[in-house]
Amino acid sequence: AEHWTHDPAIGGGRFVGEGCHIFDLICELMPAPPVQVFAAGGTFLDPSRVHIADSGIVTLTFADGSVGTTLVASDGSARFPKESTEVYCAGRALWIDDFTRLTYRDLTPAGDRELTLPRQDKGHRDELAAFARAIRAGAPAPNGLPQALRAALLSFAAVASLATGQPVPISQADYCL
């Protein structure tokens, strides 16, 4: 419980400090912008030591009706994923199981794909390598300011939804410059 992600002043809680990356990933997989965030969950760790929600399910709804959900859990069975993300869009579905397995279902079975990694990979190494290449080449960052603002806004909206039990509307005007 004594971790930066559980400190509201430093990490903002798991939904801000870690969830933002998952929300960013979901948005990059969707063809339309997010329009609503709904979150349900709570504090699963010792509430005398963790004073901000650390586990829950967040649903992102998109302008075209697509839906992305993610489970972020700080405490549960070690035999069950700590993070599970699902995306439903245009007759297709994608499931990311704890960043170790990806299952994709297309409109027809011929397009289905599955990938299992030897260990968890959240993409940190590749992300830093792409950022370093952009710096060396004088190119724009691979994931720019609007995407970062969008991820932050979704994170704060998830925390607000957890606190109120209500969906939070999202507008592109709130994160596009």
- The 3-state secondary structure of 53-74 reads CCEEEEEEEECCCCEEEEEECC
pLDDT in tens, 68-109: 999 887 766 777 777 889 999 988 999 998 888 999 999 888
Architecture of the domain whose range is 4-172: 2-Layer Sandwich (3.30)
At residue 40 the predicted structure's pLDDT band, cuts being 50, 70 and 90, is very high
Q: Are strands 168-169 and 101-105 parallel, antiparallel or unpaired?
A: unpaired
Instruction: Tell me the pTM.
Output: 0.85
Asked if the model's pLDDT at residue 1 lies above 60, the reply is no
Each residue's pLDDT tens digit, 122-176: 888 888 899 899 999 999 888 888 999 999 999 999 999 999 999 999 999 988 8
Domain boundaries, the chain: 4-172
Virtual torsion, Cα 120, 124, 126, 132, nearest 10 deg: -170
Taking only the tens place, the pLDDT of each residue in 57-68 is: 999 999 999 999
